[in-house]
């Protein structure tokens, strides 16, 4: 993931972070912040690691050096 890709993900969430200022209580602010932060973390993790394969049971990396 490049710096520009990270900035693009954060910029997409910026308006939601600014909307937090309109929350009436700190509890509402904190709950909404946690949701936004979790979504942002999920997006960053998926962009860094990649999408999950269609078949999660399919072995993708073979360890050929383990010979018995």
- The pair phi, psi for residue 29, each rounded to 5°, is -60, -50
> Is the pLDDT higher at 16 or at 59?
16
Share of the chain above pLDDT 90, in %: 38
pLDDT category of residue 61 using cuts at 50, 70 and 90 = low
Tokens of 16: 């939601």
Query: pLDDT category, 22, cuts 50, 70, 90?
Result: very high
**Residue 36: Cβ within 10 Å count:** 15
The DSSP secondary-structure symbol of 60 reads -
pLDDT, tens digit (0-9, with 9 covering 90-100), for 30-52: 999 999 999 999 998 888 887 66
**pTM exceeding 0.85:** no
| HSE value, Cβ hemisphere, 13 Å, CA-based, for 50 | 3
């Amino acid at each position: 993931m490049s710096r520009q890709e990270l900035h693009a993900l954060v910029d997409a969430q910026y308006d939601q972070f600014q909307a937090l200022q309109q929350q009436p209580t700190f509890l509402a602010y904190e709950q909404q912040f946690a949701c936004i932060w979790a979504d942002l973390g999920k997006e960053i993790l998926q962009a860094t690691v990649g999408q999950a394969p269609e078949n999660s049971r399919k072995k993708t990396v073979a360890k050929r050096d383990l010979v018995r």
